[in-house]
Amino acid sequence: MTEPHALFDSLLQDLSDRARDEVLAAFSAVQYAAHPVAEVQLAGLRDVTLRRQVQRMLKLIGRTLVHVDGTHWTAGYDDDIAASLVAQGWQPLSVIDRAVLVLVLVHSVAIPRSEGILTGDSWKSARPTTVDELRTTRISGEERRLSLQRLRAAGLIQLSGDHSGGPSYIPGPQLQRLTPAARRRLQDQLILAAAPASPIAEAIRARNGSPVVVGDES
Amino acid sequence: MSTEAVERRLYNALWWAKVQSAGPLEVDPETPAVAGLTRAASPDGSTVWLVPTLPSGAGHSVLEELGAPPVAVEQPNETARLLAICVTCCWTDRSAPAWPGVTGTLAQIRSVYAGMRGRAEQSSDLTLIIGSLRRLHATHWIRWDEKTAEVRLGPRVVTWTATDLSTLRDLCRHLPEPPPAELSTRPEPVERQEVLDD
């Protein structure tokens, strides 16, 4: 006998006990596991009917299934919900945390991608960002240290395995939760910030249909 | 689906997205209920925390059997040890729920920590203790105030079940008894509390 749940019960009550267990296991795996989970590992992801129930559960909480490498699944924010939160000015990360995260993304992903070392649109990378590369006069050493701690705890960055030159960082597993549209938005924003006068930045502004103010915190 | 039902679904989804991105949220008590988010009144009653709940059979507890670990906690043993110490300092009436509990102090925590280790405090202990308190604060298991060096249990403890509390009661019995708390301020005056919360 299980207790009813105010949000999910309407979806779960019609399922058999077994289907309910499979759906909840798959829901938990895509929501709370650090890394994407293999489709073959869980009936709730393998079976299209059960996977549809997982997607319905996620939809109720503003999330959606994200397919990774064609074989794995994770969950990320639904694009419409993310857009609504952005429109409301919702921003859980402090400006310092965002700045440090962006530095890691620039050094570990954007630069290697521009050099052709990384392909595809994933934000996963093995190219470490060193502490030297994170140094900036705008953020004190103590602020940076605390920020790195918070970003690591959130899974947004992780320590790289390469300790040859002291601690270094790579993007964390949470970046794999970005939907295709969110991955593109992030890439566009980095281009607009790094090369605002470039033809590609012009094309992004034209596609978005409105001029974007570089450096605008919103 | 009616317009009202669609709006209700969007309202729920937006609040859920907020608590997933920022952790439990402290809101005005007038905020309408959100399905699946339980409400925990703050100690002075001026706000409520919205804390997500999941159906039984869902959540972190099933990850282990799936072999799919969650995002790793740094220094997991130290962090768990400090959570246990905060519980023993802040949950003094163990016949009542753990939330909201009472205010504990860093001096109490250091004392219990040294007692658990069975030796006098070492200089490196404080670094480990503060690091763990910060991690637990960031994840809303506790509310750690660096300025006053005081701690309370965090809103996530409202999700502890009767079984969890029974386990914790046993655990507290095995930990050294904390010394009496010497608080920097009296616990109750509401205006003072609000100033401290800023």
ipTM for the complex? 0.89
B83 shares a domain with B33: no
Tell me which chain B residue has its CA closest to the CA of residue A87: B14
- What are the tens digits of pLDDT across the range A195-213? 888 898 899 999 887 655 5
Structure tokens at A76: 């990320």
Domain for residue B157, yes or no? Answer: yes
Residue B187's pLDDT band, with cuts at 50, 70 and 90, is: low
Considering A54-63, A101-110, A179-188, B58-67, the range whose residues carry the highest mean pLDDT is A54-63
Instruction: Return the ∠ at Cα A150 (arms to A148 and A153), rounded to 5°.
Output: 105
Domain A95-177 CATH assignment equals 1.20.58: no
Q: What does A170-188 look like in DSSP terms, one character per residue?
A: EE-GGGGG--HHHHHHHHH
Residue B94's pLDDT band, with cuts at 50, 70 and 90, is: very high
pTM of the predicted model, to two decimals?
A: 0.89
B30 shares a domain with B126: no
- What are the tens digits of pLDDT across the range B13-31? 999 999 999 999 999 999 9
**Nearest Cβ partner for B36 among A8, A32, A150:** A8
CATH no. for residue B128?
1.10.10
Give the domain ranges of chain A: 9-84, 95-177
Structure tokens at A166: 């002291």
B113 shares a domain with B35: no
Question: What number is the average pLDDT over the span B163-191?
Answer: 84
Residues 41-80 of B with CB under 8 A from A: 53-60, 62-63, 66, 68-74
Domain for residue B198, yes or no? Answer: no
Q: Is B45 left (phi over 0), alpha (psi -120 to 50) or beta?
A: left
Residue A174's pLDDT band, with cuts at 50, 70 and 90, is: very high
Asked if the model's pLDDT at residue B65 lies above 70, the reply is yes
Q: Kindly report the average pLDDT of chain B as a whole number.
A: 91
State percent of chain A over pLDDT 90.
Answer: 67
- What are the tens digits of pLDDT across the range B73-87? 889 999 999 999 999
- What are the tens digits of pLDDT across the range B124-148? 999 999 999 999 998 899 999 999 9
Amino acid letter at A184? R
Number of domains in chain B: 2
What residue numbers bound the domain in which B20 lies?
A: 3-53
Domain for residue B65, yes or no? Answer: no
Asked if the model's pLDDT at residue B178 lies above 90, the reply is yes
What pLDDT is stored for residue A213 in this prediction? 52
Alpha helices (H) in chain A, listed in sequence order: 9-12, 17-32, 43-46, 48-60, 79-87, 95-105, 111-114, 131-134, 141-153, 180-194, 199-208
Question: What number is the average pLDDT over the span A86-109?
Answer: 94
Local structure of residue B178 (DSSP, 8 states): P
Domain for residue B102, yes or no? Answer: yes
Tell me which chain B residue has its CA closest to the CA of residue A31: B59
Asked if the model's pLDDT at residue A35 lies above 80, the reply is yes
B90 shares a domain with B26: no
Domain A9-84 CATH assignment equals 1.10.10: yes
Find the largest Cα–Cα distance for chain A. Answer: 62
**Nearest Cβ partner for A34 among B55, B59, B69:** B69
